[in-house]
Structure 1
Amino acid sequence: MIHETSNTTEKPWKNLLMVRKYRPQLILSTLIPSFQQLTGINVVVFYAPVLFQTLGFESNASLISAVNVCTTFISVYCTERYGRRVLLLCGGILMCLFQAAVAILIGWKFGTTGVTTILSQSYAILVVLCICVFVAAFAFSWGPLGWLVPSEISPLEVRSAAQCVTISMNMFFTFGVAQIFLKMLCWMKFGLFIFFAAFVFIMTWFVYFYVPETKNLPIEEMSQVWRGHRYWKRYVDDDAAANLKPRGKPEEEIV
């Protein structure tokens, strides 16, 4: 068994890309880091000073960073207690709601003309509060779990390749969002938050139907997750059935 595992580990890319039973790992390792960046979190973290100045009030970048760091500890405490899916779903719902709220608040004051409007202190605080809740929801869900879930769903023989896919997709979308954000903000105005909220809705739907729960499950036993999943089990079962098919002609029965 150890010798067979060592041999398959020599071809992680071929296994991940070509073997049907590893299709769930390939899809999740691609989509989870992509969705993580399409939440728009880096828009808020990287460009918070520009964003807040555009909205008409002072920069609160340090507040956003503090909320992000502190709320991450919720994930540390709750991941093994309540499961990955619960946190991902709760975080997705909160992010979607409060991104939509930010879009409504900004659209109500600025509209689509981009004309500078003086915001009252209470109104500005309300916008900042919605953004902080959005950041907090990301920090206890898609922030840490966007790395944890892809790292634990892959078996040894494809884990190195799957992790390369995860990191590559994360960096690609981080770069892409950072490059187009300012142009999108000038063009879409408050609609930018609706754009990212739509992706948050899609990824929350994706988690509900396609991301299995891996709470309290050792990595060595991760294969049973796919066999028990209502959708992914077809890949594992079909592959297992193919391996059980006899090869060549069966030997004649001795009478």
Structure 2
Amino acid sequence: MVGVDDVEAEYQEIQHACDVAKQVKHPFIRLLTRSSVPPLTIAVLLQVFQQFTGINAIMFYAPVLFQTMGFESSASLLSTVITGTVNVLSTFVAVFGVDKFGRRKLLLQACVQMFIAQKQQRDPFGGTKDDRISKQKSGGGRGVSSVHVRDVLRVVVGAVGLADPSETFPLETRTAGFAFAVSSNMLFTFLIAQAFLSMLCHMRASIFFFFSAWILIMGIFVYFLLPETKGVPIDSITERVWKQHPV
């Protein structure tokens, strides 16, 4: 826990909680109990939001997207490399910011900025190929910049989306719950990766309205339902989070 100088008492509490958790013989069955529904729901929905807001779809198909915007092959590959570099650097921002600012604040500001960035991403996809090339020559850098902005924000959403499930489950179901969350993440990553190109061909610029709608839903969900776990010891999550949750 951040800010604790004397860790011995904290360590003993965690050790005791771990010993109690080991006595649970069927943690996956325990996940189906009523008390486990809130953290399980939050853990799964965070993975859905991660993928359906276009986080990994943009990264997986970045060269295709840049070519669709009107870039040449070499320029689209270079833009993809820049996007990957921004992704790596922004990881450090997320790692240090998640404990400093809190999970909810980071997610909420990411939702707002991602929603705005979607507008900049939609513009370069409108019109014919000649129109898109013309847009790139006359100021298409806005579309690329919006991809890079989203790249920074996707790391925030991704970091919190995986950090939060590791904290919201009580110790007796934490391992099973986190395994369920990661499995859900992989499942929805697979689904959006398989569907994205078909959606892009049929929806074109409208696909960013689809992503924008999910960003809006995620923002509402975070604001009303996601608890803040910053600074909460892992053995006190039930008492300090779930028993005080407004819903």
Q: TM-score range by the shorter chain?
A: 0.7 to 0.9
1:32 is displaced (CA, Å) by: 0.7
The partner residue of 1:66 within 85, 110, 116 is 85
1:98 and 2:117 matched: yes
Tell me, in whole angstroms, the C-alpha distance in 2 between the residues paired with 1:73 and 1:31.
Answer: 25
1:25 is displaced (CA, Å) by: 1.2
Q: Secondary structure at the match of 1:216?
A: coil
**TM-score, normalization by structure 1:** 0.83
1:95-244 aligned within 5 A: 95-103=114-122, 105-106=123-124, 110-111=126-127, 114-117=128-131, 118-119=133-134, 120-139=136-155, 141-223=156-238, 224-231=240-247
Tell me, in whole angstroms, the C-alpha distance in 1 between the residues paired with 2:20 and 2:83.
Answer: 49
Q: Can you list the C-alpha shifts for 1:126-150, whole angstroms capped at 9, x where unaligned? A: 11011111111122x2121111000
Higher radius of gyration, 1 or 2: 1
Tell me, in whole angstroms, the C-alpha distance in 2 between the residues paired with 1:157 and 1:89.
Answer: 29
- Name 1:83's counterpart in structure 2: 102
Instruction: Give 1:26's aligned amino acid.
Output: L
1:193 is displaced (CA, Å) by: 1.1
Tell me, in whole angstroms, the C-alpha distance in 2 between the residues paired with 1:39 and 1:184.
Answer: 14
Tell me, in whole angstroms, the C-alpha distance in 1 between the residues paired with 2:21 and 2:206.
Answer: 50
Q: Can you list the C-alpha shifts for 1:89-109, whole angstroms capped at 9, x where unaligned? A: 111111111013311x225xx
Residues 5, 71 of structure 1: alpha-carbon distance in 2 compared, 3 angstrom cutoff: closer
1:14 and 2:26 matched: no
Tell me, in whole angstroms, the C-alpha distance in 2 between the residues paired with 1:5 and 1:86.
Answer: 31
Tell me, in whole angstroms, the C-alpha distance in 1 between the residues paired with 2:56 and 2:124.
Answer: 19
C-alpha RMSD over aligned residues: 1.6
- Name 2:67's counterpart in structure 1: 53
Flag the structure with higher helix content.
2
Aligned length: 223
- Name 1:31's counterpart in structure 2: 45
Tell me, in whole angstroms, the C-alpha distance in 1 between the residues paired with 2:204 and 2:61.
Answer: 15
Instruction: Give 1:180's aligned amino acid.
Output: A
Q: Can you list the C-alpha shifts for 1:7-62, whole angstroms capped at 9, x where unaligned? A: 32x11111111x21111111012111111111112221111111111110131111
